[in-house]
Structure 1
Amino acid sequence: MKFYTLLNISRKIKSQPLKLIGIYLLNILGKRHLSIRIDPSFNCNLFCRMCYFSSPSYRNANKGLIPESEFKDIARILFPYAFQVYVGCGAEPTTHRGFIKLVELAQHYKVPNIGIVTNGQLLSHDQIEKLVISEVDEITISCHGVYKENYEYFMKNSSYQRFIDLLDKINTIKNQHQLSKPEIRINYTVNTKNLTELTDFFKVFKDYNISTLQIRPVLNIGGSYSEAITDHQISEYNNIIDQIKSECSIYGVRLLANRTDIKYEKKNTNKKVAEAAYCYIGPNTAKKLNLEWGNINFKDFTKKIQWRRKTLKLIFKDKETSINKAAGNYDVFE
């Protein structure tokens, strides 16, 4: 089942305990129930102003990469139980020379949904061709400005032309091989400075065969820029989302947009399900868990992270009372 179909089904099921029980039963039965997010390298080639990687102190304190020699064991342990594997989760995966190997391993284990999240600036023609030929499901590309000025302002050290060339290359190579994958998803973090130009999104990008557009208001995650949409801009934001929604319908683009919690002030109704389903692997995971990937299996891993105990606690836990700080709190329009 494709991820966006699964997401829509999940959103229709209102009972969080019911979802958690379903995930727990899938674990007992040895079925796929995890969304694996992997940072093969904790590094980035850009200094995006809204990201923690724009902070020199953060960069200095967070470094490292997963040796490619460990990829096979990570895949052996986790990929048979994953309904989704995404390479890239906060850091830039293409800073690791062997990042495509993770995609190939996910395909070997027949993971239903495989993607890569990237700023795209380092992707070579050969790497793009490998991703296309392998028919990875989705390439998610960051874009925080419709036009060159804001794109390069927010994505410091980037090239807007390189981004446009990347979109061209993906579609050209897909056409050459007569393939429909990978789909292109654009992630646009909106703020006070780049809000208005969002109205021109399809004037610029309508011919690039974008499948999904995610629009989310900026969240302060430690970057050098975090000027959120102001109260007087909320009406403008909603009007722009209405326009974008209409245009997405015309061009057959799936829209993910935060409409209900623009300032991230509401309770998080999906936090517990995310805690149970999401599994993050990074350069420091083995050290933090005091394990060696080559010496354990999936059962050992779940014991290390106390997955069953924590999930049972989530099922019977009191109603979530924390404020939602998850940037992924969006509505889906198809």
Structure 2
Amino acid sequence: MKKSFWNGFFQGRQPKPFSAWQIELTTRCPLRCKMCCREGHHSMARKDMTLEDFQKILPYLREVESVVLEGWGESLLHPRLIEIIRLVRDEGARVGFVTSGMTLSDDYVLELVQAGTDFIGFSLSGAMAETHDSIRVNSHLPKLLDHIRRFQEIKVRLKTSLPRLHIVYLLLKNNIAELPILIRLAKDLGIGEIILIHMALISNAWQEGQRIFAREETEEYESMVTEAGKMARGLKITLRRPSLTPRDAAVCSENPLQNLYISVNGNVSPCVYLRPPVPPPFLRIFHGEEFRMEKVGFGNIFQKPFPEIWQNSQYQDFRSCFLRRREKMQEITGILLDPDKRKSLESFSLPSPPLPCRSCYKIEGF
């Protein structure tokens, strides 16, 4: 890719113009998780990205800090995963993924380490087997924990700190009380980081009834998460947590200004939640209200050069919404620092996000 393109658009920004690209290698998954948007769509075709197609993405990855080989499927099922990890590393990007961990073996762990994998997250939806297994159907927590322990043992044997392992824990009403158990579990496993997340795409009544975040603070849940944070600090574990109530987010945590998502079919989208693997229009429930959403995409990287997609006028308009919001937030921050101007904040509001994002929990800071 010509450097002049990036120099023109990203002058003075971080060392690489993109923070993270999320690439879906497969839509196949052995689990039937209750929080997945594919609930009710299990008959949909399963597909792997071919190595030939992945190689069409490769030249652009030298401009990306981190590549997350993950979408709506289980990356460990991809037959060329190890080869793909090596290819990404050769382009100078950090590489990893989040996994259910159910298909790991000692040989597979050894290959992942030797390929140079930088990070792996393990998805948990409970710290007790009964809870986790009932939510992540076809998973079995004791087996998953055994795989994590074996992974750590093999790393010790090979005298390597990579890949760095972390836990990704989905917060639900059914499992939030197990946070203290989770933290002790992480300590026992030698894992130093836990990332707590919410469901971002809610598409049925069960999911809607399980969310612990709301427009008004729930003191009970906030207290549980706060106490978990204190416990984690005491055990020298980093606990990253989301807000439980809305907050102004000029740019959501998916950050479409520096990040993007590529589906198994090569479609480029601002984020994974705007292109789920279900037939359009897909259902999104937002604070109890139902929305029928079309998938968002701005071009196919298997068919077009990436700069052509990135400079697509519709894609630029999409990102401009966030640029305007960020500029306004900076203006508001400046006013907050000036006591004489604070009264004028009453008339300030952030510009609207893109239409597909207005009914997304991410834009509310969740």
Fold match by TM threshold 0.5: yes
Maintained 8 Å contact 1:148/1:160: yes
Aligned partner of 2:361 in structure 1 is: 325
**Does 2:271 correspond to 1:235?**
no
SS for the counterpart of 1:225 is helix
SS for the counterpart of 1:206 is helix
Match of 1:71 among 38, 54, 61: 54
Aligned partner of 1:19 in structure 2 is: none
Q: CA–CA distance in 1 between the matches of 2:311 and 2:145?
A: 45
Match of 2:323 among 315, 324, 327: 315
Identical-residue share of aligned pairs (%): 18
Larger radius of gyration: 2
Aligned partner of 2:250 in structure 1 is: 269
Maintained 8 Å contact 1:267/1:324: no
Match of 2:71 among 89, 100, 125: 89
Greater share of helix: 1
Q: CA–CA distance in 2 between the matches of 1:164 and 1:278?
A: 31
For residues 123-272 of structure 1, the aligned pairs below 5 Å read 123-222=104-203, 225-226=206-207, 227-229=210-212, 234-259=218-243, 262-263=244-245, 265-271=246-252
Q: CA–CA distance in 2 between the matches of 1:266 and 1:184?
A: 30
Maintained 8 Å contact 2:200/2:360: no
Maintained 8 Å contact 1:32/1:80: no
Maintained 8 Å contact 1:133/1:177: no
Q: Structure 1's 309 and 161: CA in aligned 2 closer, same or farther, altered over 3 A?
A: same
Per the TM alignment, residue 37 of structure 1 is displaced from its structure 2 partner at its CA by: 0.2
User: Greater relative contact order: 1 or 2 (C-alpha under 8 angstroms, separation 6 or more)?
Assistant: 1
2:27 alignment partner AA: F
Match of 2:24 among 39, 52, 66: 39
Q: CA–CA distance in 2 between the matches of 1:62 and 1:327?
A: 31
Q: Structure 1's 258 and 203: CA in aligned 2 closer, same or farther, altered over 3 A?
A: same
Name the Cα RMSD after superposition: 3.4
* Runs of 5+ consecutive residues of structure 1 not aligned to the other structure: 1-21
Q: CA–CA distance in 2 between the matches of 1:29 and 1:298?
A: 20
Task: For residues 162-186 of structure 1, give each alpha carbon's deviation from its aligned partner in whole angstroms, at most 9, with x where no partner exists.
Answer: 2111111110111011111111111
* Runs of 5+ consecutive residues of structure 2 not aligned to the other structure: 1-6, 269-296, 326-349
